[in-house]
Structure 1
Amino acid sequence: MATLVSLRRLVNSVAAVAFYQPTGSEAEEYHKWYYNTFVWQKTSWLGVTTWKSVSDMWNYQEIIADLKPSLIIEFGTNQGGSALFFATIMKRLGQPFKVLSVDISHKHLDPAARRDPDIEFIESSSTRPEIAEQIQRLKSEYPGKIFAILDSDHSMDHVLAEMKLLRPLLSSGDYLLVEDSTVNGHPVLPGWGPGPYEAVEAYEQQFPDDYTHDVERENKFGFTFAPYGFLIRN
């Protein structure tokens, strides 16, 4: 009897996989639901608010575990949850590292994140020359791979300026994430205007050989807040 039950379950499982296939619109519709319900604003890491897609966060930790960077650069701190998330992962990897998190204002920064000694918070525009100088200093202190993520001002011009600032600072194999390229109809907030997605397009028109798109990572979980934004430096 147990064998028959197991066989029936196996047949039903195979049939379900064969006949109950997605239509192709599910990921985009879920993306819209996830964004437009603002559930991402109710996400936290160790009690600190983290405005991310949880599937992106899982993807990021996999990338970091593979890359084993010594320096993580975050443009856009907000409350500090993502910086704390990155620092937590890096501690588990067990090598010297620093997380640099930059934001125009730290008035919303959670004290729990601010207290982490492995995170350096800078209150500044991410495109100021002083930020490039600080990254260069940290590179000398923490040599190795870099994981950088852009999540500050989501206008095309600003993100393009951030990408250009990082251009001489990132080396072959380093990883760049351009977040919120989902806005301006990709597929949410269609009236936003040119944003991060268009910034990547504009950058690649000027520097077509700088990056390879990590399409496998981008598509891994069906949707991402960084479409067209998973980039590996050539």
Structure 2
Amino acid sequence: MSDPGNPAISVVVIAYEMNRELPRTLRTLSPGYQRGIEAGEYEVIVVDNGSHQPVTAADCPFDTTNMRFLDQDAGGVSPVAAIHQGLDTARGDLVGVMIDGARMASPGLLRHARDAAKIRPNPVIGTLAFHLGDDVQMQSCQRGYNQRAEDRLLATVPWVDDGYRLFDISVFAGSSSRGWFHLPSESNALFMPKRLWAELGGYDRGFRSVGGGLANLDTWKRAVELPHTDVIMLLGEGTFHQFHGGVATNSPPGTMSQVFHEEYRSIRGEQFITPANPDVSYVGTVPTNARRLLVDSALSLLPNRGQGRDHEAGALTARERPFTSPMPPRLAEGLLGGVMKSRYRDVLMHKSPLDLGIYLQLFSRIRPRSLVEIGGKHGGSALLFADLLGAMHDDDYRVISIDNHPRQEFSDRRIDFLRGDALDLATSLSADVLQALPRPLVVIEDSAHTYETSLAVMEFFHPHLRPGDYIIVEDGVVSQLPASRFRAYDHGPNRAVREFLALQGDHYEIDTELCDFYGYNMTFNPNGYLRRS
């Protein structure tokens, strides 16, 4: 154990008007929360950059014995001076800087930073960044994501007891969008020996814009590009950004970008470019909750990703029907932008206008009495379906919405909102419940859009479906969307439909009348409307 007066690690955290967010961040850096490291091995230096009511130890209901709270006298809209104050007072040989006090830390961050510093002589240790929510916050804030929504989201996982559960409710930040095996454009928890901070000169005081502009990106780039440094990324660890109205992460895209980039050009004489991938070492372990993100990161390394594999989408067929449609990929991508903002009765529902029309045809034809939706999210589509079924039947109808992280903010006596995993639906839906559902039944698989989840849902419901029931596999359109992030789905829904029909084809038929209602597979669910025969 280190001497409490001479810690091995110093962590500098900068805060401004973060009375809600900072205590959470500090909890994630506190002894006990951080695993595999003793309180005496590190100190946390909190530098307030001019808040009206700075957070103090009294605001933190957890162990703060290794934390110091300082005020930056000079203030100013840029945090750079506050960072230098923290660097100057740091006692550890290894110093980490978190420029944004709204970023919570994963539980192994400090232990793995400590261990990483021991394996190379001149370590520059970086971490990936994540945003809480189902999208980067520059986008989600335009759809109503705010502090109250985030509080409800955090309440859905026991993050205080297991900080790795934050991976369940977050996405890669834009700076880290390509995953662990590509260098990010910045690190929001950057660790270096104190001597390297001195060699680098710390953060450039020329960055005077609100929030520091591109100061954090600049510091990371200069550190990575020092000729003698060893870049190390922490695998399975990261920081998680809370919504706090920050000028960079919580403003609509482009709001301050031009100002920040002009300042960067005035200082460096060139446009900012993300540093190229040097030889990178990796230290850490991957918790169960982060494995899906690790897979996404690994998939991004495959050769010709987003080119040659797109041809495979055209080669996929079911019953000699290709899954491709004449819908231009850019049109599909444009429609998706509206889909992600679409609401019903002011509740997000994420359904394409094409498929809403197809559902109306299906409901008019079979007049379903039960609907089970896997992947209900905010509940808007469940509300729509309940209204449609209610218009057809006075009573004796049922709507069930299942999601592993339900996000609906309302209750409705007609809808059963259940928590459940698409890979383990038996835990949420018993055979007796399914047997008792009034028929016809429509099942909608709209969960993770991976091969494994789509196939698991179809296989689970197969023994419970009766002739005339439907199972609809949504969003096979991901195979045709041009953005590289959709390659991670690896044609999941379409591959699952193809395999399911190969195994159970005698019992199902593709309802081509529905799939082709607006033109051949002119739907977000190509070959995805399956009728039990």
Specify if TM > 0.5.
Answer: yes
What is the identity, as a one-letter code, of the residue corresponding to 1:215? T
Q: Does 1:97 align with 2:393?
A: no
Structure 1 CA distance for aligned equivalents of residues 528 and 330 of structure 2? 18
> Does the CA contact (< 8 Å) of 2:440 and 2:469 recur in 1?
yes
Structure 2 CA distance for aligned equivalents of residues 70 and 116 of structure 1? 17
Q: Does 1:79 align with 2:378?
A: yes
> Does the CA contact (< 8 Å) of 2:446 and 2:475 recur in 1?
yes
> Does the CA contact (< 8 Å) of 1:28 and 1:187 recur in 2?
no
Question: Which shifted more, 203-212 or 173-182?
Answer: 203-212
Higher relative contact order (Cα pairs below 8 Å, separated by 6+ residues): 1
- Once the two structures are superposed, the pairs formed by residues 128-143 of structure 1 within 5 Å of their partners are 128=424, 129-133=426-430, 136-140=432-436, 142-143=437-438
The equivalent residue for 1:126 is: 422
Superimposed CA distance per residue, residues 80-125 of structure 1 (whole angstroms, 9 cap, x where no aligned partner)? 110001000011002411101100001x2232xxx21110011110
What is the identity, as a one-letter code, of the residue corresponding to 2:330? K
Structure 1 CA distance for aligned equivalents of residues 524 and 455 of structure 2? 18
Change (3 A) 1:221 1:157: same
The equivalent residue for 2:348 is: 49
The percentage of counterpart residues that share the same residue type is 28
> Does the CA contact (< 8 Å) of 2:348 and 2:379 recur in 1?
yes
Give the structure with the higher percent helix. 1
The equivalent residue for 2:446 is: 151
Change (3 A) 1:187 1:62: farther
SS in 2 for 1:191: helix
Q: Does 1:212 align with 2:509?
A: yes
Select the residue among 327, 330, 340 that pairs with 1:28: 327
> Does the CA contact (< 8 Å) of 1:104 and 1:123 recur in 2?
yes
Structure 2: 5+ residue stretches without partners: 1-324
> Does the CA contact (< 8 Å) of 2:330 and 2:481 recur in 1?
no
What is the identity, as a one-letter code, of the residue corresponding to 2:500? Y
* Aligned-pair CA distance for 1:62: 2.2
Select the residue among 486, 491, 495 that pairs with 1:194: 491
Total equivalences in the alignment: 203
Q: Does 1:160 align with 2:455?
A: yes
What is the identity, as a one-letter code, of the residue corresponding to 1:96? D
Superimposed CA distance per residue, residues 15-36 of structure 1 (whole angstroms, 9 cap, x where no aligned partner)? xxxxxxxxxxx9512x632434
Q: Does 1:230 align with 2:511?
A: no
> Does the CA contact (< 8 Å) of 1:150 and 1:178 recur in 2?
yes
Select the residue among 110, 118, 127 that pairs with 2:409: 110
The equivalent residue for 2:359 is: 60
Structure 2 CA distance for aligned equivalents of residues 216 and 144 of structure 1? 21
Structure 1: 5+ residue stretches without partners: 1-25
> Does the CA contact (< 8 Å) of 2:455 and 2:497 recur in 1?
yes
The equivalent residue for 2:338 is: 39
Over 4 Å off, 4+ runs = 186-190
TM-score, normalised on structure 2?
A: 0.36
* Aligned-pair CA distance for 1:188: 7.4
Select the residue among 158, 169, 172 that pairs with 2:464: 169
The equivalent residue for 1:23 is: none
Question: Which shifted more, 52-61 or 159-168?
Answer: 52-61
Superimposed CA distance per residue, residues 170-198 of structure 1 (whole angstroms, 9 cap, x where no aligned partner)? 11110111001111237876623131011
What is the identity, as a one-letter code, of the residue corresponding to 1:172? P
* Aligned-pair CA distance for 1:230: 0.8
Structure 2 CA distance for aligned equivalents of residues 53 and 136 of structure 1? 33
What is the identity, as a one-letter code, of the residue corresponding to 2:349? T
> Does the CA contact (< 8 Å) of 2:369 and 2:439 recur in 1?
yes
* Aligned-pair CA distance for 1:65: 2.3
Superimposed CA distance per residue, residues 5-64 of structure 1 (whole angstroms, 9 cap, x where no aligned partner)? xxxxxxxxxxxxxxxxxxxxx9512x6324346111121111111101112112112211
Change (3 A) 1:205 1:86: same
> Does the CA contact (< 8 Å) of 1:156 and 1:194 recur in 2?
yes
Structure 1 CA distance for aligned equivalents of residues 482 and 512 of structure 2? 17
What is the identity, as a one-letter code, of the residue corresponding to 1:77? G
Structure 2 CA distance for aligned equivalents of residues 96 and 214 of structure 1? 26
SS in 2 for 1:177: strand
* Aligned-pair CA distance for 1:210: 2.0
> Does the CA contact (< 8 Å) of 1:74 and 1:149 recur in 2?
yes
Structure 2 CA distance for aligned equivalents of residues 145 and 105 of structure 1? 28
What is the identity, as a one-letter code, of the residue corresponding to 2:397? F
> Does the CA contact (< 8 Å) of 1:136 and 1:169 recur in 2?
no
Structure 2 CA distance for aligned equivalents of residues 182 and 64 of structure 1? 22
Structure 2 CA distance for aligned equivalents of residues 27 and 45 of structure 1? 28
The equivalent residue for 1:183 is: 478
CA radius of gyration, larger in:
2
* Aligned-pair CA distance for 1:139: 3.6
C-alpha RMSD over aligned residues: 2.2
What is the identity, as a one-letter code, of the residue corresponding to 2:516? N
